[in-house]
């Protein structure tokens, strides 16, 4: 049952993205709804592949969102709960339109049947999705100066961790967002993953991606001084990503470990501890 005290966007984020919902609770109260709006918007476009039966319908759905964003910046937002909330966030915090456009454009790659060709392609996807979303969240929290140095590595770390955790789910949908070059290098076929097998090369691929996530996490943390305390909530997803990466290191980078899909019972405690310390 929905909590009547929550806005529509907050309820949607709590239901569909509970980890990010927790991080929003550490944002200043007056800016929290902007984060909920951004994360609800992200859900709307991220689920496109899952809710359409063919790519053309997905493109139509994303075009609707492109036009909706354009109309927000023309001060005539559509009558849609998420659009209305986004319009308020844009007006209140002067959010950069180019970030929205890039996020939607990058999500259109989800409709392509082919996996990313190589690591650079995957990293560009990670930056265009989670990196751009992080940039918007930093802007909403008044940390524009941190966007250039922190958003990209933070987003890549979170995106790669999320992609790793989603491999079993995506496989059931016959979709794998792993670089073709890595699959070939380690002798892993798409059909093996679709069949939920454990090909010997898969942990090596996961380890390579997890190592990249760890490197980007460390880079984002190296710029901590650029992030004002009120903006920490935009980067607290890194704390949760680190927990998932630790589990992967312990289990031999086994993506079929059911614990990876579970919400950590210590998540709220970890977030509270990091926020109290002014860290992420």
Confidence check: pLDDT of 104 > 90: yes
Confidence check: pLDDT of 159 > 60: yes
- Written as six digits, the tokens of 34 are 């902007």
Torsion of CA 61, 93, 25, 99, to 10 degrees: 40
Percentage of residues in the chain having pLDDT higher than 90: 94
Q: Mean of the pLDDT values across residues 80-89?
A: 98
pLDDT score, position 3: 64
pLDDT score, position 264: 82
pLDDT score, position 265: 84
Q: Mean of the pLDDT values across residues 139-166?
A: 96
Confidence check: pLDDT of 1 > 60: no
Per CATH, domain 8-277 is 1.10.600.10: yes
pLDDT digits (tens, 9 = 90+) for 15-68: 999 999 999 999 999 999 999 999 999 999 999 999 999 999 999 999 999 999
Confidence check: pLDDT of 2 > 70: no
Mean pLDDT, the chain, integer: 95
pLDDT digits (tens, 9 = 90+) for 211-235: 999 999 999 999 999 999 999 999 9
Q: Mean of the pLDDT values across residues 70-97?
A: 98
């Amino acid at each position: 049952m929905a909590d009547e005290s929550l806005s529509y966007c907050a309820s949607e984020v709590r239901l569909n993205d509970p980890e990010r919902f927790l991080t929003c609770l550490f944002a200043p109260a007056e800016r929290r709804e902007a984060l909920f709006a951004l994360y609800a918007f992200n859900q709307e476009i991220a689920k496109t592949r899952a809710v359409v039966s063919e790519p053309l319908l997905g493109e139509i759905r994303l075009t609707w969102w492109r036009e909706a964003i354009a109309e927000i910046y023309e001060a005539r937002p559509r009558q849609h709960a998420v659009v209305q909330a986004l319009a308020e966030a844009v007006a209140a915090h002067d959010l950069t339109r180019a970030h929205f456009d890039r996020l939607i454009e990058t999500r259109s790659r989800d409709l392509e049947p082919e996996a990313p060709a190589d690591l650079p392609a995957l990293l560009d996807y990670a930056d265009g999705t989670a990196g751009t979303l992080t940039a918007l969240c930093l802007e909403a929290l008044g940390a524009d100066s941190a966007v250039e140095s922190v958003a990209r590595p933070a987003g890549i770390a979170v995106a790669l961790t999320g992609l790793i955790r989603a491999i079993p789910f995506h496989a059931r949908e016959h979709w794998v967002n792993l670089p073709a070059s890595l699959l070939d290098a380690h002798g892993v076929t798409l059909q093996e993953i679709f069949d939920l097998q454990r090909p010997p090369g898969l942990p090596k691929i996961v380890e390579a991606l997890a190592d990249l996530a760890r490197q980007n996490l460390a880079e984002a943390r190296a710029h901590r001084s650029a992030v004002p305390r009120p903006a920490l909530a935009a980067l607290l997803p890194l704390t949760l990503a680190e927990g998932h990466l630790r589990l992967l290191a312990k289990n031999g980078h086994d993506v079929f470990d059911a614990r990876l899909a579970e919400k950590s019972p210590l998540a709220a405690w970890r977030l509270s501890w990091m926020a109290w310390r002014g860290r992420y």
